[in-house]
Structure 1
Amino acid sequence: MSNNKNFLQNVVSEMKKVSWPTGQETVRFTIIVVITVVFFLAFFYALDLGITALIDLL
């Protein structure tokens, strides 16, 4: 039981050291992730269309 208590104390201690992002940083990072996902979606969609067109030619 003391191991669990010690573990929880260590978790609380470490969580106090965490540097959480601000709201503005969270919004900025979310926008970056969405833009990156959309870019790769379009890239792989175009790649898929190209490969499909090549296969249809054969």
Structure 2
Amino acid sequence: MDSTYIVCSRDRSTSLKLQRFHASRATRSIELPTGHHPFITRPDLMLEQLLALLRLS
């Protein structure tokens, strides 16, 4: 199944190692310089990524 994992490089809740492990199982991964909730703190970056993913389909 096609999937995307967002790695949040400034997340202090979930380690980067664990995030990258989960990301390795996805079709693609995107790393953003955000904390645990990028859709709250950086909706602009999330929108940019969502629009890019929609262009792929």
TM over 0.5: no
Higher relative contact order at CA 8 Å, sep ≥6: structure 1 or structure 2?
A: 2
Comparing both structures, which one devotes a greater share of its residues to strand?
A: 2
Larger radius of gyration: 1
- In the superposition, the TM-score normalised over structure 2's length comes to 0.32
- In the superposition, the TM-score normalised over structure 1's length comes to 0.32
